Structure 1
Amino acid sequence: MRLLHTSDWHLGRAFHRVNMLGAQAEFIGHLVSTVREHAVDAVVVSGDVYDRAVPPLAAVELFDDALHRLADLGVPTVMISGNHDSARRLGVGAGLIDRAGIHLRTEPAACGTPVVLQDAFGDVAFYGLPYLEPALVKDEFGVEKPGHEAVLAAAMDRVRADLATRARGTRSVVLAHAFVTGGEASDSERDITVGGVAAVPSGVFDGVDYAALGHLHGCQTITERVRYSGSPLPYSFSEADHRKTMWLVDLDAEGAVTAERVDCPVPRALARLRGTLEELLADPGLARHEEAWVEATLTDAVRPADPMARLTERFPHTLSLVFDPERAPDDPEVSYAKRLAGRSDQEIAEDFVAHVRGAGPDMDEQGVLRDAFDAVRADEAVKEVAR
């Protein structure tokens, strides 16, 4: 069976001040063409269809168009909700849409109930594991202390239990939206850390033939059977080095996996430039970036006059301008944001405690801080679901 694995469309999201709806529509057209041209048997979409729980009308209309075009092809599509989606909204009408071959899986309780498709070699069971917010699903899965690994492992236990009841030789595909150990994150993914831990081990997916992952925006191979498709379009400058693709995955009669990448159309290249204003304006080696979307970081000791206006004369698609004079890391003038870059909420809070009282928190106090952050995150998740 040939699968097309994609995820993280983030319909309705902009790139800085650029409306991406046109590029997203172009991607949908490319997706449909790829399904047709490569004789795809099933499409899997691993979450974050929308960028937010209540998407703009134009994004909903684009999604509706995508569903109609996929249904018209007669190729089954399996989708799950991600952490940006409202699972309840995305899942409205799922039972009816099933009849058109579009299978929306947004209910955690249905993790062990697959969509079963057939090819010349027999059945392939597709298990949809929507994004599982630990605080909200711990009771459903009987998990005492919520965490991503615990709830995902419990969901996979249901998958394996169901798979064990099926005919010998049934192949299996799991769709999941999670941060798996070994994956490389970017700035555009929403933090899903719980209890100080965001990642789960890839071994949680043992026992299935292919795990089609969503959440991380870079196309990545965790193992031969566990892969991220990444987002089809860039949503932050941290993705400047990404090659935006989908996975074309073949499952043979024994469930062995072969996969190749299919490039996605992107409207412009991304470039992150750093130097003094005069260096950026004069360097001939930067000519290749003149039509790119540009993030420029200026290192001038003194802020130059009209830097954006001058930059856009050479780089007309400059979207982000950062002023970051070269200074030693311990220089008191180094910005607060720079000192905090790449640090978790937990680490920042622990440093604050150490700064205030002269000693960092002990293990019990670290636990109190973790519980507090988890409680806030759970409360935000409940509010998001209720919207």
Structure 2
Amino acid sequence: MKRIYMDHAATTPMAPEVVEAMKTAFVEIFGNASSLHQPGLEARAALEEAREKVAELIGAEAEEVYFTSGGTESDNLAIKGVALAKRDRGRHIITTSIEHPAVLEPCRYLEGQGFEVTYLPVTREGLVEVEALESAIREDTILISMMHANNEIGTIQPISEAGSIARDRGIAFHTDAVQTVGKIPAKVDELGVDLLSLSSHKLHGPKGVGALYIREGTEIESIIHGGGHERGLRSGTENVPGIVGLATAAELAGANLEEDMARMAGMRDRLAEFVLARVEDSWVNGSRTKRLPNNANLGFSFIEGEALLLRLDAEGIAVSTGSACSSKKTVASHVLTAIGLRPEEAHGSLRITLGRENTDQEVDYVARTIVEVAESLLAMSPFRKS
């Protein structure tokens, strides 16, 4: 059975060019980038070249990019690092109710350390209202963290407007752009952010590597202490082959961005429209217009999303019911309940996220199969309306 992978919000297969670049780095660039001998200098050169490529993708200066182990570490460094640096001037942080756990959990940790956190609500489409953000700002607000686009429903937030508000008030502004870098334009100056998190394995690079953009002049403290790597902010010997892989993935994403966006948006819409027209009591979760081009999050009444996922998996189709970081939890998605779904509605969701290797033929097969499986489950559902 040929398998079809449509869970790219969880992770992406590595691009062949990334694999080849990493193979070379593993064999030929084995030195420690902090060493002063020739192998070390070669590793340092590869590291700095990679930094330039990642910076180019997000429109930053190379010295503003700091390599980490992934999106979670980048989010933790941004939130905890800014909070520690600014704690004498205020202890109020603003974020949203639909953030990834990599943002929510550091915020909850800081609440236990004497900080106050405001969790902004969202509309039915999953959008933060700019007026609500403005109303939440206080004199002691030191940080705003708002994700660029949601990992479950794909809604793209008004980051530029929020960034302008934060800048006018002198508040540090962070965005978790793990789901957007490499999928839509994510230039730091256009977004107006001071800090931006990204992850390699979401854009066809290797796992275990990420980066944090920190605008020059942003106050931040280290949360990992040791030998002073990454210009003193993130200690730990750099994963040079992984970073080379991230840089190659970033280069590919930048070169193909517009073409990939248009193609995936077309496939996404065709799939969603096919299913919605044929399955009763189905809908799209999140915004129909302000969403990632590769994300279709569909809701179904009277169907358990996990049953739908497992039946699709048996047909060779890999999708998800929500965030891969929370997929084994039995509670309803905090994102779907935040947009107003009842728990039983939230449990009936299916997240389909496309990647550049998916084809039109695969999309048509997946759409037909979703309809067939959904109709089969509806026929046996004890909750279906008569």
Q: Fold match, TM over 0.5?
A: no
Between Structure 1 and Structure 2, whose CA radius of gyration is higher? 1
* TM-score, normalised with respect to structure 2: 0.29
Judging by fraction of residues, say which structure has more strand.
Answer: 1
* TM-score, normalised with respect to structure 1: 0.29
